[in-house]
Amino acid sequence: MVFGGTPLGKSGDHIVNLLSKARSAWEKDHLLRQVVKNSSYLFSSSTLGIGLNILTSIFSSRALGVASFGVLGAITTFAAVADKLLSFRIGELVVKYSGAALTKGDKNAAAAVFKVSALTEITVSFLSYLLIVLFSPFAATYFAKDASLSPWFMLYGLIVPAGLTYETSSALLQITGKYRFQAIINFIQNLITTIIVAIAFFSPNPFPVVVIGYLAGKTFSGFSYLIFSLVQANKTFGEDWWKVSLNLLPPRKEFWGFAFSSNFSGTVNLFVRDSDILWVNYFLSPLQGGYYKLAVSLIGFMLIPIDPFIKTSFPEITRTVTERSWAKLRKLLQRLTLISGGATILFGVLFAVIGKYLIALVYGEAFVPAWAPAMILFFGYGFANIFFWNRPLLLALGKPYYPMMVTLLSGSGKILLSFLLISQFGINAQAIIMTSYFILSISLILQKGYRTIKNYEKLDQADKITL
């Protein structure tokens, strides 16, 4: 073979063969193509969202300064924690049970799951906001170190009732393949937030404008998901879907057991993973919280390109498990891991080389101390990013309690170490503890998922022999 007059030799032939095999595998793998196709809508939105999120982060950090940026982190994190505290991660319930029912052609059973999920989420949303109102004075005093900021905790907390059925709605759009709608909503949400926060950059009192910017984007997203999902419910289940009997729900013990395990796992994650900024602010200061918030935000950009695969792969994983197509499932997981692994490693290399200089250039010299904890967090969040399908796999396999117990036990150790070490060794120690937690817990869940697939394969083979 010749390229530009120069023989490629054996190495060139090898590359061509690899490319040919990759193309052949792509053409034959309908399941992976479906996931990538669905992800492409969200990925386009995410690509634009990365730019908008970066702009939002730059405008807000430069407008507020490190300490006020840490206070903003306390406000947004407190609302997210309160929202998830009572949340049943109801979207997973819809994807698993409504998705499985639709796969079997049972629209009424799928509608019953959607209906009870929506009603549950509405109730929980208002209860969560009540908690925000009650505990905002406490949060302002201990996490923002300023009791006068309590009204801002309450104001931003309105994102919770605004996202009335966010998880239920998002899940329905996922299982019906309406990813384009989600992409449009997500883009407009990011655009609204960016525009308002950009205005804050030029405002003499930027803090209120920044909070309102984040609130406005979330509010738009919540109401948009609600409207689109109601339209889609009418198309999918029929116009009388809301009249279906709840007797069509899956067996009560199984159904609510799944919901409880998801809720418990989410609650544990609140204290283990999602509330780190609150602990940093509490044990150290909003200044250190500002560094840690930026570190988490920077690593969050790594997660954005993979996030579409998280949303689109869970329904496909659930579908292949329902069909008991184990070889197809294993192949899908392998190829998703290659995609996420390549993106994650590329981000890590670039961030290690130029991350510190970019922080100084874009956010300002005052934020450079955020680079070290961000680099440490990369290894933990990167591991989670590569194997993003670990928990959805076990949920699809009907093993919701195992990740819950792993999260509880490893998370308890993580919390204990945080309480013992963070005040003495600072945010780098917190980043090391978080990274260790991710690697340990996800490794255990991956091992369980692999063993479960092998066991199901053996059972199916035994059944075939018996028949």
Does 127 share its domain with 212?
yes
Q: What is the DSSP string of 252-281?
A: HHHHHHHHHHHHHHHHHHIIIIITHHHHHH
Looking at the structure, do residues 72 and 124 belong to the same domain, yes or no? Answer: yes
Report which DSSP code applies to 2: E
Give the position of tokens 């130029």. 354
- 235 lies in the same domain as 288: no
Helices 286-303, 427-466: inter-axial angle, 10-degree rounding: 30
pLDDT tens digits in sequence order for the chain, 467 residues long = 444 444 445 544 544 454 455 455 545 555 555 555 554 545 555 566 677 888 898 999 999 999 999 999 999 999 988 887 776 578 878 888 898 888 888 999 999 999 999 998 999 899 999 999 999 999 999 999 999 999 999 999 999 999 889 989 988 988 887 877 788 888 899 999 999 999 998 999 999 999 999 999 999 999 999 999 999 999 999 889 989 998 888 888 888 777 776 666 667 777 777 788 999 999 999 999 999 999 999 998 887 777 767 767 777 888 888 888 888 898 889 988 998 999 899 999 999 999 999 999 999 999 999 999 999 999 999 999 999 889 889 988 888 789 888 988 998 899 899 889 999 999 999 999 999 999 999 999 999 999 999 988 888 777 666 65
**Count of structural domains, the chain:** 2
Residues 227 and 276 both lie in one domain:
no
pTM score over 0.95: no
Q: Are 281 and 72 in contact (CB under 8 A)?
A: no
Task: Judge if 137 and 63 occupy the same domain.
Answer: yes
Residue 362 lies in a domain: yes
pLDDT score, position 219: 95
Structure tokens at 61: 């950090």
Residues 300 and 392 in one domain: yes
Say what the pLDDT of residue 1 is. Answer: 43
The CA-based angle 278-340-448, given to 5 degrees, is 80
**Assigned token pair, 102:** 């639709």
Same domain, 232 and 282: no
How distant, in Å, are the alpha carbons of 81, 387, 425, 427 from that of 413? 20, 22, 17, 17
What is the spatial distance between Cα 296 and Cα 437, in angstroms, rounded to a whole number? 15
Give the tokens for residue 213: 């910017």
Alpha carbon distance 456, 464 (integer Å): 12
Q: Is residue 398 part of a domain?
A: yes
Look at residues 195, 223, 250 and tell me which one is the last residue of a structural domain.
250
Residue 262, pLDDT score: 66
What does the alpha-carbon distance between residue 89 and residue 245 come to, in Å, rounded to a whole number?
Answer: 23
Strand partners, 7: 2
Instruction: Calculate the alpha carbon distances from 361 to 5, 211, 352, 357, 364 in Å.
Output: 45, 25, 15, 6, 6
Is 233 domain-assigned?
Answer: yes
Judge whether 326 lies within some domain.
yes
Cβ neighbors of 360 (< 8 A, separation 6 or more) are: 367, 368
Query: Angle 40-41-42 (CA atoms, 0-180°, nearest 5)?
Result: 90
Question: Residue 30's pLDDT is what?
Answer: 55
| 19 occurs within a structural domain | no
Token output for 165? 């059925």
Considering the domain architecture, whether residues 246 and 270 belong to the same structural domain is answered as no
Query: What type of residue sits at position 454?
Result: K
> Could you tell me the residue range of the domain that residue 282 belongs to?
265-462
Pair 384, 302: CB distance under 8 Å: no
Output the CA–CA distances (angstroms, integers) from residue 431 to 31, 273, 380, in the order listed. 37, 11, 9
Boundary (domain end) residue, out of 250, 282, 303: 250
Contact indicator for 418, 435 with CB cutoff of 8 Å: no
> Are 370 and 291 within 8 A, CB to CB?
yes
The whole-angstrom separation of Cα 382 and Cα 406 is: 19
User: Is 90 in the same domain as 219?
Assistant: yes
Whether residues 203 and 314 fall in one domain: no
Chain centroid to CA 222: how far? 16
Exposed, middle or buried, 24 (CB in 10 Å: 0-12/13-18/19+)?
exposed
Residues 239 and 269 in one domain: no
Residue that has been written with the tokens 């990925």 in this structure: 43
Quick one: which H or E segment has residue 7?
strand 6-7
Domain boundary pick from 186, 221, 250: 250
Q: Is residue 3 part of a domain?
A: no
| CA 387 to each of CA 33, 340, 341, 394: distance values in angstroms, whole numbers, following the listed order | 19, 8, 8, 13
Q: Per the domain annotation, does 4 fall within a domain?
A: no
1 is a domain residue: no
Q: Are residues 135 and 269 in the same domain?
A: no
